[in-house]
Structure 1
Amino acid sequence: MKTTTDMLHSLFTKVWDEEKIPEDWREGVIIKIPKKGDLTNCNNYRGIMLLSVPGKVLNRILLERMKAAVDPLLRDQQAGFRSNRSCTDQIATLRIIVEQSIEWNSSLYINFIDYEKAFYSVDRETLWKLMRHYGVPEKITPWSRTPTRECLAGSYMQARCQTVLSHNHMQDKSIQLSTTSLGAGLRINKEKTKLMRINTPTTTPVTIDDRPIKEVDSFTYLGSIINKQGGTDRDVTARVGKARAAFIILKNIWASREIATLTRVRIFNSNVKSVLLYGSETWRMTKKTMQKIQTFINSCLRRIFRIRWPDKISNKELWQRGSQDPLESQIRRRKWGWIGHTLHQRLPLHARP
């Protein structure tokens, strides 16, 4: 292992000094991954390029050096694809805005923006200028111009959410965003961009490039369902459905007698329960909701432990076998953990432990 590390270090040092990347590091195999929609349409596939291992290691080194320069300058609101951050803050903030709008009977417009192939269409010269503006080392910038880097970029642009209180304000901001985005080579996907109105008297459509934005009663924002009635019941139902699908996919593992029970429980925690409880820090928990989720978890555990009728076992014993806490305790722990993490992020860097 040490010999391999020394060889790679020597090779990377030479690449860094000469600023020349081996040609085979720029070559890769493109794998198509289907997205939603008609799979006969090529636009409904996302391409992923598989690179050589040394090339990926070099890309990781460059990425870490870019992050060191850019990360301290990014806004706190930018949570996606940043270490030690999650999108829970954004989900919770939007839920609170919607619920307060309903409570105070105030008007609210929410525009969920989606970009077409964001990192494939962004203007490269604008990107280089931004990298220099953020202090990315000049030595790295020329390497970022290679075709391989363009293929690696992927689609990191998630749905952007705008919230305003009036129709005219939303119309103006939508036009302004579209114009500014075009200047950077970004084009708004008018099919996937959606509008949500809450307590609004006007029905005049909001348009982008003279095309009205489709209005919806609910929208999946950062993986969680936001609906105009407020509450989290629809999101909980969707989470249970996704977790059930994840559990069914792994049915061969649950039925296998060659896999230890403890291993099956760990797989359940990582592949099923993580899907089930995503965003649970922002849920408004009621006794009915708690019972619905706990019932699903119990049924999964009974199948993992092969407990079938007429066998009987109490829920408490079932949880002990699977080293599971009651759902109420898990949710409370996740909520307090999120609150603590949020408060920690609000502290200045010199005050953090």
Structure 2
Amino acid sequence: MKQWDCSNHQGITLLSIPGKFLAHILLRRIRDHLLRHKRPEKSRFTPGKSTIDHILALRVIDFEDLLGEPVQSVRARGEDLEVTESFTYLDSVVHNSGLSDQEVTRQIGLKAGVMNSLNKSSWRCRHLCRGTKLRLVKYLIMPVLLYSSETWTLSCALEFRLDAFCNRSWRRIMGYCLQDHVSNLETGIGSVICTICDRQLRLYSHLS
């Protein structure tokens, strides 16, 4: 489709100020009714629930201990379902071992893709100061990397991979190279592992 072909475009309807007030009043009146009849598997836009809760529940469940025997087959609605070692649920990879190696590798790859897509427009742009670039990292890059990190089980090797990748990315953005001999403390870059631990502690306190 050509850029000037607008046949497939839809207009945006802007509500008037009285219309917004009316919509807010209606939503507030029916909200309690909607929450009472909402299916339990629906978590988004529900107070006290999130998709992270569901991902964590799948990561901590050991089906072999729960059922007392290895799971060989699963049958639902008269059909046999394939039993796999890992699958993607709510955009997060869940492995039957409970480990997070595949998920961390996947998130690092996604973050690298976002970093490369902004290479010419942002990181190499001379008109953007370093502070603006760091804010772009905070609001555009880190949410991609740290999605569902509250549920990760990190080994020393995974922690080293995450720290090494983030430090390499930050130095690339800030224009440092190996010949500059600048330590991580001097750059002011915090450890991503500390951020993950903080998110996990906040999640566990929420669950408790």
Which category describes the TM-score, using the shorter chain as reference length? Answer: 0.7 to 0.9
Q: 2:13 aligns with which of 52, 66, 74?
A: 52
Q: Output the aligned Cα RMSD.
A: 2.9
Between the two proteins, what is the percent identity of the paired residues?
24
CA contact (8 A) 1:281 1:338 kept: yes
Equivalent residue of 1:53, what SS?
coil
Mapping of 1:40-119 within 5 angstroms?
50-54=11-15, 57=20, 61=24, 62-71=26-35, 74=38, 78-83=42-47, 85-98=49-62, 101-102=63-64, 106-107=68-69
Amino acid at match of 2:204: I
Point out where structure 2 has 5 or more consecutive residues left out of the alignment: 1-6
CA distance in 2, matches of 1:59, 1:215: 50
* Alignment partner, residue 283 of structure 1: 152
CA contact (8 A) 2:98 2:153 kept: no
CA distance in 2, matches of 1:287, 1:71: 42
Aligned length: 198
Q: Which has the higher strand share?
A: 1
CA contact (8 A) 1:219 1:227 kept: yes
Amino acid at match of 2:55: I
Change (3 A) 1:330 1:258: same
Q: 2:122 aligns with which of 220, 243, 253?
A: 253
The CA deviation at 1:302 is 0.5
Q: 1:266 aligns with which of 103, 126, 135?
A: 135
CA distance in 2, matches of 1:58, 1:50: 22
Q: 1:315 aligns with which of 172, 184, 202?
A: 184
* Alignment partner, residue 331 of structure 1: 196
Point out where structure 1 has 5 or more consecutive residues left out of the alignment: 1-28, 32-48, 108-198, 344-353
CA contact (8 A) 1:30 1:50 kept: no
Per-residue deviation, residues 245-279 of structure 1 (Å, max 9, x unmatched): 11111112111111121111111011111111111
The CA deviation at 1:301 is 0.5
Q: Which moved more, 1:333-342 or 1:271-280?
A: 333-342
TM-score by length of 2: 0.80
Q: 2:104 aligns with which of 218, 223, 236?
A: 236
